[in-house]
Amino acid sequence: MEKEKLKGVSNGKKFLIESYGCQMNFSDSEIVASILTEKGFSITKVEDDADLILLNTCAIRDNAEQRVRNRLTHLKGKKKRNKTLKVGVLGCMAERLKSKLLDEEKLVDLVVGPDAYRDLPNLIEEVETGQKAVNVLLSREETYADINPVRMNQDGVTAFVSIMRGCDNMCSFCVVPFTRGRERSRSPETIVKECTDLFASGYKEVTLLGQNVDSYRWNIDSKGNIKNENEETTNFAGLLEKVALVDKNLRVRFSTSHPKDMTDDVLHTMAKYENICNYIHLPVQSGNSDVLKRMNRGYTREWYLDRMKAIRRIIPECAVSTDIITGFCGENEEEFNDTLSLMKEVKYDFAYMFFYSERPKTLAERKFEDDVPLELKKSRLTEVINLQSEHGHASTKRQVGLTQEVLVEGVSKRSSEHNYGRNSQNAVVIFPKQDSKRGDYVQVKIQSCTPATLMGEIVG
């Protein structure tokens, strides 16, 4: 009873949390913030005011880890000047580098994996006694479904909602299954409730997050069998519909889709509801079937292109973005050219592009030789970037002259006289404010564009 009275009472300590990498990490940071504020901590954005600094890390690529290491080195110097400051690493780097960070390099005081955030208050108490603290245990059940995240996004308009955790795909280049564990879904009721509460609080857009949202399933096993006859079954298409029905003025986005699992029923649900945005992130990684097989992606070039045809047929106005890796193990010139030819066929609106960097513990590290020279990886990446720049600019040009609904997200960084927002296709639109304010839906006629941004005027 006494503990219950103290719940949420300030303990006078402040924490700062920094997020690196994917949207899932930013969503996790909001869960961590909720757990700590419930225990009396308060959030600060001022480094010098913080008693505890937490870095929520990404391990998907080497340069992401290097950014975190550089930040930790800076904080190590700060800790020498401020003996009471504590520093912790959360997330995907935690399990892989726990001993190095804690013991060998002595950069941090605590290390906490993605499934152990509930244990943070106990670990912090341990650290305050002068001990090092670590919990990187992975879970088959943890989804944090009962935790109401503290929204750290200052716009108060858009929010991330995690619908599942972990990943079962085992792509040969990826560390996520090792750092985030096996795939498990949240119940649709908790997801719908979170979205309903967000809309009631003034939010106008939610992004449903998962490593592979298309494999979301509730009360259905991996073979499609019903687990409990008395409970409703829900796949991703069904979940999308439930969230779309929260309110027609709540926009719905999602990320990330997997080509091997995206079904037509998801596309038909998108087409049915105007408030589900016409935008899909569909990572291809490579345009060559042999490379895709080495990547263990579970689909061929032909399968991917079939999914693209389905998108174009069912949702003609849908924008599509992708991920592309150059220089994966064994990639020859012909295989690389297949990636370029696929890009020319699809003409993506946007792409995240990288050259391959080998990650420890992955299947690729164990099975294949990282044999493409770095300079060749980089030159191929440059070709991909240049081609995508052409396609991206063509995409924005096609929208000039159209009138589009835009959700106002805030004031433009370049001009206090302009607001910015995004259209259904996820393109950024900048326009003179007039009477518009954050959270409004406005009709904007697109008058000009840059390769990545649309400019227009409010009409009607």
Give the whole-angstrom CA distance, residue 19 versus residue 232.
36
**H or E element: which one contains 388?**
helix 374-398
Residues near 84 by Cβ (< 8 Å), separated by ≥ 6?
51
Summarised one tens digit per residue, pLDDT across range 222-234 is 666 777 777 788 9
Q: Give the whole-angstrom CA distance, residue 58 versus residue 137.
A: 17
Q: Say what the pLDDT of residue 105 is.
A: 67
Given the structure tokens 């979940």, which residue do they identify? Answer: 239
The fold of the 2-135 domain, in CATH, is Rossmann fold (3.40.50)
Point out the residues of the chain with pLDDT beneath 70: 1-9, 104-105, 154, 222-224
How many CA atoms does the CB half-sphere of 333 hold within 13 Å? 0
> At the topology level of CATH, where does 403-458 sit?
OB fold (Dihydrolipoamide Acetyltransferase, E2P) (2.40.50)
pLDDT at site 4 = 35
DSSP state letter for 231: S
Q: What angle do CA 108, 24, 382 make, to 5 degrees?
A: 95
Domain boundaries, the chain: 2-135, 158-394, 403-458
6 close to 40: Cβ distance less than 8 angstroms? yes
Alpha helices (H) along 39-144: 62-81, 92-99, 120-128
**pLDDT confidence of residue 1:** 32
Of 146, 152, 147, nearest to 43 by C-alpha is 152
Domain 158-394 carries which CATH code?
3.80.30.20
pLDDT of the residue at 5: 34
Backbone angles phi, psi at 358, to 5 degrees: -65, 135
Between strands 418-422 and 428-432, the pairing is antiparallel
Max CA pair span of the chain: 69
DSSP state of 245: T
Asked if 430 contacts 418 with a C-beta cutoff of 8 angstroms, the reply is: yes
Evaluate the omega torsion of the peptide bond into residue 256 and state whether it is cis, within 30 degrees of 0: yes
| Nearest partner of 101 among 52, 36, 55, 47, judged by Cα | 55
Crossing angle of helices 23-38 and 120-128, in 10° steps, is 70
SS3 407: strand
What is the distance between the terminal CA atoms of the chain, rounded to a whole angstrom? Answer: 58
Place of tokens 């400019």: 455
Angle, to 10 degrees, between the axis of helix 236-244 and the axis of helix 264-272? 10
pLDDT cut 70: percent of the chain above it? 97
H/E element, 265: helix 264-272
